[in-house]
Amino acid sequence: MTRVCRLHAQNDLRIETEPFTGPGPGEVLVAVSAGGICGSDMHYLQDGGIGTIRVREPIILGHEAAGTVVAVGPDAGDLAPGDRVALNPSQPCGACRFCAEEQERHCLNMRFKGSAMRLPHEQGMFRDRLVIRAAQCIKVGAEVSLSAAACAEPLSVCLHALNRAEAVAGPLAGKRVLVTGAGPIGALCTALAARRGAAEIVVTDLQDRTLGIAREMGATRTVNVATNADDMACYEAEKGQIDVVFECSAAAPALRMALACLRPLGTLAQVGVAGEIPLPLNVLVGKEIHFVGCQRFDAEFPEAVALIASGTIPVERMVTGVYPVEQAAEAFAAAADRSRSVKVQLAFDGSEVSA
C-alpha cells in the first residue's frame, strides 16, 4: 500500500491509501523522499486549474521529487536498489514532429507527471511509492540531500530559460540582469545568472523574506517594489539600463516595470506564466525588445542534477519549509504565503529509507 496526495476538485485535497503494483519492464519502484510544491500545484488546488488547463478528474499532484530505488523491473538499465535518484517528470513520445526536431518540450503527446493538461490526467509524484520509467531517474550521490535533489526540476526550468535568453542576447557574462519575482524560479535564475558571470543582478519582489534569499543566491541588489518602487527609476534612465530580464512573477506591474528598465534591443525572458495579461506594446515595439517565451526544459535535467550534486547551486537555501505529507494542507497554506515561504516541500516515508 502507498499513501498518495490526491486533488479531487478545487480545494479538495485528500491523503489516501491504495495498493500499487511492482515495476514492469524498464521501470523501477522508488520510495519518494521529498516533493516540492510548485505554483501550478497551488493553482490546481486553489483555482481548480491554470488559465485554460482545468482539473477535470482526480489527480495526484507533484512533479518535483527525489527518492531511493527499492526495486527494479527487467531491463531497468544500471539502476539498483539503494540508488538515490532525482525524478524527471517529463516523458515525451519520441515519435512526433517536435520530438523528431529535438524540441521534446513541445511534444504533441507529452506525458508530464502531475499535469492536468491532457485527459486522462498524468498522475504525479506526491506519494510514498512510485513506479516510474528507469529512464526518468537520474542518480545522485550520497553527498546531496534528496530534498536538494528534488529541486532539479525547477532548476531545469531556469537553465532552459537562461539558455533561451543567451541564444538571443549572447552570454550573460558582464551583463546587467533584472529578475522580477523572487520565488523559487526567480531565486534559481538569480543563482544561475551569477554563475554565468552577470555583472549586476537586480532582483525585485514584494516581500523582504524572499529578497533576503535572493541575496544569498547571488543578487547584487534587491528592491522591495511594494515599499521602495522609486529605487527602480535609475534603471529607466536613457531608455533603459538593463540588458536582460527574467520575468518570474507573471504580474502586470512587474512586466511593465521590466519593459521600462530594459535597454533598446534588450531581451525579456518570460518564465512566469499566467492567462491573459496587459502588455505595453508601444514600449515592446519602440525599444525593439526581444520577448522570449520559456517553456519547461529538455536536455537540461541531467545538467541541473549535476549542478545540485556538486553544490554549485545552493538550492537548499531556498527550501523554507518541509512538512510530512499528512500535513499537506498546512504545507500548501505555507507555500501560498509568500511573506514566509520560497520553496515548500512535502516529506514522504522514503525519507527514512534514504537516511
- Interface ranges with Zn ion (CB under 5 A): 92-93, 96, 99, 107
The secondary structure of 82-133 as a DSSP string is: T-EEEE--EE--SSSHHHHTT-GGG-TT-EETT--SSSSPPP-S-BSEEEEE
**In whole angstroms, what is the distance from residue 272 CA to residue 259 CA?**
15
CB 163 within 8 A of CB 271: no
**CB-nearer residue toward Zn ion: 100 or 173:** 100
**In whole angstroms, what is the distance from residue 278 CA to residue 301 CA?**
32
Instruction: Considering only CA atoms, give the Rg of the chain.
Output: 20
**CB-nearer residue toward Zn ion: 56 or 97:** 97
Burial annotation 119-133 (CB, 10 A radius, 16+ → b, else e) = eebbbbbbbbbbbbb
**Least distance between Zn ion and beta carbon 93 (Å):** 4
Whether the link from the prior residue into 154 is cis, omega within 30° of 0, is no
**CB-nearer residue toward Zn ion: 100 or 226:** 100
**In whole angstroms, what is the distance from residue 210 CA to residue 340 CA?**
8
**CB-nearer residue toward Zn ion: 136 or 354:** 136
CB 40 within 8 A of CB 56: no
**CB-nearer residue toward Zn ion: 44 or 112:** 112
**Least distance between Zn ion and beta carbon 298 (Å):** 11
* Cell numbers at 31, concatenated: 520510495
Angle at CA of residue 165, ends 112 and 37, nearest 5°: 35
**CB-nearer residue toward Zn ion: 91 or 222:** 91
**Least distance between Zn ion and beta carbon 138 (Å):** 20
**Least distance between Zn ion and beta carbon 279 (Å):** 30
**CB-nearer residue toward Zn ion: 106 or 290:** 106
Percent composition of the chain: helix, strand, coil (DSSP 3-state, to 5):
35, 30, 40
CA-to-CA dists, residue 346 to 15, 143, 252, angstroms = 12, 21, 31
Q: How far is CA 57 from the centre of its chain?
A: 24
**Least distance between Zn ion and beta carbon 100 (Å):** 8
**Least distance between Zn ion and beta carbon 128 (Å):** 31
**Least distance between Zn ion and beta carbon 53 (Å):** 19
**CB-nearer residue toward Zn ion: 93 or 229:** 93
Q: Which helix (H) or strand (E) holds 291?
A: strand 290-293
**Least distance between Zn ion and beta carbon 315 (Å):** 29
